[in-house]
Amino acid sequence: MEEQVSSQHSVEGMELRWYYFLSSWVLLLAVTYQIHGQNVFPLQLFCLIGAIGVPFMKQPQPLLKQVLTVLVHLAPFLWLPAIIDRQGILFALYVGIVYLLVMLYIHKNIFGLYFEILNKHHDTTYAFFQELLGF
């Protein structure tokens, strides 16, 4: 019985890519804010979970990997307005639904991906980015 439960969360050997993670989508939307002008603050708040998760990584990770992970989650707070309005909430729901649909379409277990990123050891920050960027 225990083997069945643990195998449900086993994603050993799973390749990680930047577009598998909602925080990457939010960072991309934040960087392009001047183009589309859409409030992404509600999504930023949701992505704070990723920054909070860094200290709980089970495998020892390179310090630079940890710092960059936190920065990816916190950087948009530096230049985006902190506004929670109806339009922003609706946009957050739209982006969240599109993200879920894309993950379903490419057959990715969202919880497994986040479990993997928190537990997968990378010897160097370079190795981590090589995997995320696909080279």
pLDDT digits (tens, 9 = 90+) for 96-110: 899 999 989 988 887
The pTM for the full model equals: 0.73
Find the largest Cα–Cα distance for the chain: 52
Q: Assign 94 a pLDDT band (cuts: 50, 70, 90).
A: very high
How high is the pLDDT of residue 90? 92
Q: Say if 65 falls within a structural domain.
A: yes
Residue 12 lies in a domain: no
Q: Look at residue 68 in the predicted model and tell me its pLDDT.
A: 80
Q: So what's the pLDDT on residue 40?
A: 86
Across the range 61-68, mean pLDDT stands at 77
Dist CA 64 CA 54 (whole Å)? 12
Domain carrying residue 32: 18-133
Q: Is 93 domain-assigned?
A: yes
Percent of the chain with pLDDT over 90: 10
Q: Are 30 and 76 in contact (CB under 8 A)?
A: yes
Residue 31 to residue 127: CA distance in whole angstroms: 25
How many residues are listed for the chain in this entry? 135
- Domain membership of residue 90 (yes or no) is yes
Which pair of tokens denotes residue 74?
A: 């916190």
Q: How many domains does the chain have?
A: 1
Tokens of 41: 């603050």
**Residue 127 domain-assigned?**
yes
Question: Is residue 8 included in any domain, yes or no?
Answer: no
10 has pLDDT over 80: no
| 7: in domain | no
Tokens of 45: 């708040």
